[in-house]
Amino acid sequence: MIIRTENIAKTYRVGVERIRALRGIDLNIKANEFVAVMGSSGSGKSTLMNIIGCLDRPSVGRYTLADRNTSRMSAADLATVRNEKIGFVFQSFELLPRQTALKNVELPLIYAHGGWRRRRRRAKQALERVGLGDRITHRPNQLSGGQKQRVAIARAIVNNPAILLADEPTGNLDSSTTREILDLFCQLHAEGQTIIIVTHEQDVAARCQRIIWLTDGRISSDAPVREAPALRDYWQHHEQNGNATTNDTIEIVQDLPPEGKPAC
């Protein structure tokens, strides 16, 4: 297992009130899985992703990433794990506005071993991998939304992370660009990348292998994409209409995927 959580719980204290964000999460994710995490607002999605991404610690329980128990790591060790083992992709891109695409992708490599020539070469390779080899000198304000997200994905994969965590990665994109970014995630998955996406969009989740649904800090459903209760209406609509259009924001036309496999 690349990810294993055992009885993970997280409690926050706000004044005199205690808020239980996660309650006994047991989760196993294998290498090269493509997983969507879904749930309503306040269900614990962000808290779970923060713990998986080593941005926060559980109050109770054990989290093992790539056979390493993160629960006992120091802050410095967790920072190293985040840099070397985890790639992050955010809805708002989080690019440095005054730096080129190449410089933005180089950032995680500053903390790795090797000189600037090696950093430059690896950053360029990552940009070429996401189809932006001809945009390496462009700054964010010279790029489209989809191109900015591709730069963000290149930055996330430049260190060859064990897992790629994407938090609403298509939330700021139009339908056409969303399809392009999802196709890129599918390409990375086909190349062996483990991917976890937090999303509220059924159309985005339908491109994954597995759907985890959180309710009040607990996993209420964990199923292959074709069997997930959260997508039951989606597949029924698909079968009735011959395509996978469920809202006015995203339109993805595809064949029904085999059970447990992504609809890429």
Q: What is the 3-state secondary structure (H, E, C) of the chain?
A: CCEEEEEEEEEEEECCEEEEEEEEEEEEECCCCEEEEEECCCCCHHHHHHHHCCCCCCCEEEEEECCEEHHHCCHHHHHHHHHHHEEEEECCCCCCCCCCHHHHHHHHHHHCCCCHHHHHHHHHHHHHHCCCCCCCCCCHHHCCHHHHHHHHHHHHHCCCCCEEEEECCCCCCCHHHHHHHHHHHHHHHHCCCEEEEECCCHHHHCCCCEEEEEECCEEEEEEECCCCHHHHHHHHHHHHHCCEECCCCCEECCCCCCCCCCCC
For residues 149-169, average pLDDT = 95
The confidence score (pLDDT) of residue 236 equals: 85
The confidence score (pLDDT) of residue 141 equals: 96
For residues 57-77, average pLDDT = 91
pLDDT band for 107, please (50, 70, 90 cuts): very high
Structure tokens at 169: 């990665």
Residue that the structure tokens 């462009």 belong to = 138
Residue 28 main-chain phi, psi, to 5 deg = -125, 130
Q: Is residue 86 part of a domain?
A: yes
Comparison of pLDDT for 15 and 217, the residue scoring more: 217
Q: Is residue 259 part of a domain?
A: no
Among 200, 212, 183, which residue's Cα sits nearest to residue 247?
Answer: 200
> Is pLDDT above 50 for 247?
no
Structure tokens at 16: 């005199």
The confidence score (pLDDT) of residue 263 equals: 52
The confidence score (pLDDT) of residue 244 equals: 47
Structural domain total, the chain: 1
Tell me if 127 sits within 8 A of 136, measured CB to CB. yes
State how far Cα 52 lies from the chain centre: 11
Looking at every residue in the chain, the average pLDDT score rounds to 89
The confidence score (pLDDT) of residue 261 equals: 62
Give the tens place of pLDDT for each residue, 42-51. 899 999 999 9
Q: Is residue 180 part of a domain?
A: yes
> Is pLDDT above 90 for 259?
no
The confidence score (pLDDT) of residue 257 equals: 52
Q: Is residue 262 part of a domain?
A: no
The confidence score (pLDDT) of residue 27 equals: 96
pLDDT band for 262, please (50, 70, 90 cuts): low
> Domain with 179 in it: what CATH number?
3.40.50.300
Q: Which domain holds residue 140?
A: 3-252
Structure tokens at 73: 């790591």
CA–CA distance, 183 with 135 (Å, rounded to integer): 19
> Is pLDDT above 60 for 58?
yes
The confidence score (pLDDT) of residue 243 equals: 57
For residues 162-188, average pLDDT = 93
For residues 120-132, average pLDDT = 95
Q: Any idea which of 83-97, 106-120, 149-163, 175-189 has the lowest mean pLDDT?
A: 106-120
For residues 226-240, average pLDDT = 87
Q: Is residue 208 part of a domain?
A: yes
The confidence score (pLDDT) of residue 260 equals: 59
Residues paired with 12 in a beta bridge: 19
The confidence score (pLDDT) of residue 72 equals: 83
Q: Is residue 264 part of a domain?
A: no
Give the tens place of pLDDT for each residue, 2-12. 999 999 999 99
Q: Is residue 49 part of a domain?
A: yes
> Is pLDDT above 80 for 112?
no
Q: Is residue 115 part of a domain?
A: yes
